[in-house]
Amino acid sequence: MFKQMKASLLASAFLLSCIGAASAESTLKLVPSADLQVLDPMGSTADIVKMHGFMIYDTLYSLDEHFVPQPQMVQDMTLSDDKKTYRFTLRDGLKWHDGQSVKAEDCVASLKRWQARDAAGQLMARQLKEMRVVDDRTFELEFGEPYGIVLESLSKVASNIPFMMPKRIAETDPFKEISEYIGSGPYKFAKDKWVPGSKVVYEKFADYVPRSEPASAFAGGKVAQFDTVEWDIIKDQQTALSALMSGEIDFWQSPSLDLLPVIEAAGNLKTKVVNETGTQGTLFFNHTQPPFDNPKARQAMFYLTNQQTYLQAVNGNPDYYRTCASFFICGSPMETEVGLDALKAPDPQKAKALFEEAGWDFSKPIVILDPTDESIVHPETVVTVQALRDIGLNVDVQAMDWATVLKRRNSKEPADKGGWNLLHSYVGGQVVSNPVWSITFSAACEKGIFGWPCDQALEDLRLKFALADGQEARKTVAAEYSTRAFEMGHHVPLGQWNTFVAFSDKVSDVLVTQDVPVFWNLKKSN
């Protein structure tokens, strides 16, 4: 009898220990800023797709928190004496999530797909003479002339990002979505657990070999500390706050600034700014329609812009915003105020005079698209409308939803026939950290950004930036770009602001990335 009891107790203890071991599986639960709908990193430039990309894919080079490219999948890089050929050797032991080894041919195929979709990739492709596989771990990029931003392009954090994927997947038409989501990053995508609009689950990739260097933003050793990372899509701010306070989630990517006092008072929560450069507000012109087909009218808007007013309307907390008289986000290496004195000293009367010089009839309406469902663009619009009315201009504010703005902004019709004159937006700091990462800075007429700015000098400067050798040379070109961009009135930067992440006080080691948060390295205590 006693022996039987003893055996039962031992068996129970063993079972309990098994259950204990099972429940010891570590999970990080977080609320991202948006729902993940597109899984192909070339399929969308949305931040949430970028975050997904960094969970499951790896990059050849990665940007550290000082905006410096560092090798990630690459072990060695050599540059030929004529500075035209880059030879990359991959790290030993890299594996895809399906168990296959990462090969040079996979990387070449991935770069080709990226070059078809990304502005910087397209620029690189135009300068490339050949991309060739040398052996399983080595490949080369040969350029027609020295190209200055190879490593910067390979490590760029502004979407689209050159994530590496197996050759068979990378050979998918770049304009069609891939159907397998296999990377070589620290976490695997658990497709069977994905509920679009509700939950995204990632599982630790056991074969991932982190670099030995300490993690710094997207660079260094990516150590996956959790068996599972679960993204819970909670769209309601109040619900997300309650879930964080009650311990149902560990990390919240994008709390509203209004909730900061509540979070700070909660006692068991912490906050951090992971993107210290932040986001930049922008005012775009339709360069093809009067009055903004005239550079004087466009320059007038620089003199009319009081960044402080925009930032108060959009953000409202001086600890989280700053004025920045630079096209390239302040805090990044290319920050420059050259040519932008107008932004530092707003002068509405000067703006009015420039509109008059442009020959604009003040009784004619200026059409502004106002997405009332967009919490940043709408207040930006309200500020501009008031500034225009204050100098006697007639403004036609057309209210609509954001999806309609996205469609309408492609209209080249006259403003009174379904077109537009002005619209606002905002861009992540990485996107506007230099003149080539995005078509925001393009001036390629019909082939460029909506609003169709058209200026060969600016396009030449973008290419000159890409070809410049070294950071100092690039800074000089960025200043030239800034001067020219004001002269032709490309677009108006409206200042920049930060957001913060909130997390349980059990979470530690959250990395500053100067962009979206990443979920390697950080830890959670019990």
Partner 1 sequence: MLAFIAKRTLSVIPVIVVVSIVVFLLLRLSPGDPAVIIAGDNADAATIERIRSALGLGQPLVTQFFIWAGSLLQGDLGISIFSNIPVTDLILQRIEPTASLALTTLVFAILIAVPLGTIAGATAGSWLDRSLMLVSVLGFSIPVFVLGYCLIYFFSLQLRVLPVQGFSSIREGVGPFLSSIALPTMTLGLAYLVLIARITRASVLEMMGEDFIRTARAKGVKERVVVTRHALRNSAIPILTVIGIGVALLISGVVVIETVFNIPGVGRLVVDAILKRDYPVIQGVILLFSGIYVLVNLAIDIGYAFLDPRVRY
Does 506 bind partner 1 (CB under 8 A)? Our answer is no
Is residue 433 at the binding interface for partner 1, with CB under 8 A as the rule? no
Q: How many CB atoms lie within 10 A of CB 8?
A: 10
Rounded least distance, CB 384 to partner 1, Å: 19
Among 395, 439, 463, 488, contact with partner 1 (rule: CB under 8 A): 439
Question: What percentage of the chain's residues is helix, strand, coil (to nearest 5)?
Answer: 35, 20, 45
CA distance 204 to 207: 9
Q: Which residue stretch of 13-21, 41-49, 72-80, 206-214 sits at the interface with partner 1 (rule: CB under 8 A)? A: 41-49
Print burial letters for 244-267: b (CB count within 10 Å at least 16), e (below 16). bbeeebbbbbbbebebbeebeebe
Torsion angle (degrees, nearest 10) of CA 450, 35, 434, 462: -40
Judge contact between 301 and 351, C-beta under 8 A: yes
Query: Does residue 180 bind partner 1 (CB under 8 A)?
Result: no
Q: Give the H/E segment covering residue 332.
A: none
Q: Does residue 239 touch partner 1 according to CB under 8 A?
A: yes
Q: Cβ neighbours of residue 468 under 8 Å, at least 6 residues apart? A: 148, 149, 474, 476, 477
Residue 165 touching partner 1 (CB under 8 A): no
Smallest distance from the beta carbon of 25 to partner 1, in angstroms? 17
DSSP state of 56: H
- Asked if 37 touches partner 1 (CB under 8 A), the answer is yes
Q: Locate 237 and state its tokens.
A: 């701010």
Of 117 and 475, the one with the shorter C-beta distance to partner 1 is 117
CB-CB contact of 439 with 449 (8 Å): yes
Window 441-500: residues binding partner 1 (CB under 8 A): 442, 444, 446-449
Interacting residues with partner 1 between 46 and 85 (CB under 8 A): 46
Q: Is 512 in the site for partner 1 (CB under 8 A)?
A: no
Q: Least CB distance from residue 164 to partner 1, whole Å?
A: 21
Our CB check for partner 1 shows the closer of 111 and 200 to be 200
Question: Is 233 one of the binding residues for partner 1 (CB under 8 A)?
Answer: yes
Contact (CB, 8 A) for 500 and 272:
yes
The 380-419 site mask, x for binding partner 1 (CB under 8 A), equals --------------------xx-xx-xxx-x---------
- Amino acid code (one letter) for 414: P
Name the minimum Å distance from CB 248 to partner 1.
Answer: 6
Give the count of beta carbons closer than 10 Å to the beta carbon of residue 418: 12
Q: Which of 207, 210, 205 is nearest to 222 (CA)?
A: 210
Cβ closest to partner 1, residue 88 vs residue 426: 426
| Under rule CB under 8 A, residue 261 binds partner 1 | no
**Could you say whether residue 229 binds partner 1 (CB under 8 A)?**
no
Gap between the terminal Cα atoms of the chain:
40
Kindly tell me which of 117 and 211 has the beta carbon lying closer to partner 1.
117
Q: 244: which 2 tokens? A: 């964080």
Please answer whether residues 144 and 202 qualify as being in contact, where contact means their C-beta atoms are separated by less than 8 angstroms: no
Give the interface segment with partner 1, choosing from 241-249, 342-350, 475-483, 514-522 (CB under 8 A). Answer: 241-249
Amino acid at 37: Q
- Footprint on this chain of partner 1 (rule: CB under 8 A): 35, 37-39, 43-46, 117, 119, 159, 173, 175-177, 179, 195-199, 232-236, 238-239, 242-243, 245-246, 248, 400-401, 403-404, 406-408, 410, 425, 427, 431, 438-440, 442, 444, 446-449
